[in-house]
Amino acid sequence: MIFIRQTSAAVVLVTLTLSLQCAGMVVVIAWARPRFAPEVLRLGAIRSAILVMRLMTAFIGLHLLEILLWAGFYRWLCFTSWESAFYFSAASYATVGYGDVVLPWTWRTLGPVESIIGVLMCGLSASFLFAVVSTLVDREVRASDTAITVAGDTTPGTRVRGAEAARRGRSTVSIS
């Protein structure tokens, strides 16, 4: 009977954690999407750094909400104080697991479950940030390495890509 109770609690907590992570990622993607529109060639170093910092802050907040979800359960059934519940939850979620605060025997299997879900959620956030940084670097490199000036265009600072020059019917281009 204890195992069924532990398993049921784990399933509910994992489902809620996954739902929270997915909802948070949807919000972050919707917020960040305009910054990656096709007409935005590059953001520049400062704006790119600010974007990454904002995304990291959003993910830290999201992970804190997930830790609080688990801490709420621990406070409800396992610990007498919020401090102990949050401390244990954060240590488990981050897979630190000091062992100075432990769950009661009847709930002890939830600690490893939270550690597994914490690793997966942090990995999901890290992979999203990696994709964002890769995209920003790729756009920066493409914008700076492939910019060319159309020969014969006298407008100062006119920069086009090779494909655009071909569409304009220019066969002669010069690297600026």
Q: What percent of the chain has pLDDT over 70?
A: 81
Q: What are phi and psi of 109, to 5 degrees?
A: -75, -15
- Separation CA 127–CA 147 (nearest Å): 30
- Among candidate residues 90, 111, 93, the one with its CA nearest the CA of residue 102: 111
- Separation CA 152–CA 92 (nearest Å): 65
Query: Tens digits of per-residue pLDDT, 49-90?
Result: 999 999 999 999 999 999 999 999 999 999 999 999 999 999
Which pTM was predicted? 0.77
CA-CA-CA-CA torsion sign (162, 167, 170, 171): positive
Query: Tens digits of per-residue pLDDT, 98-130?
Result: 889 999 999 999 999 999 999 999 999 999 999
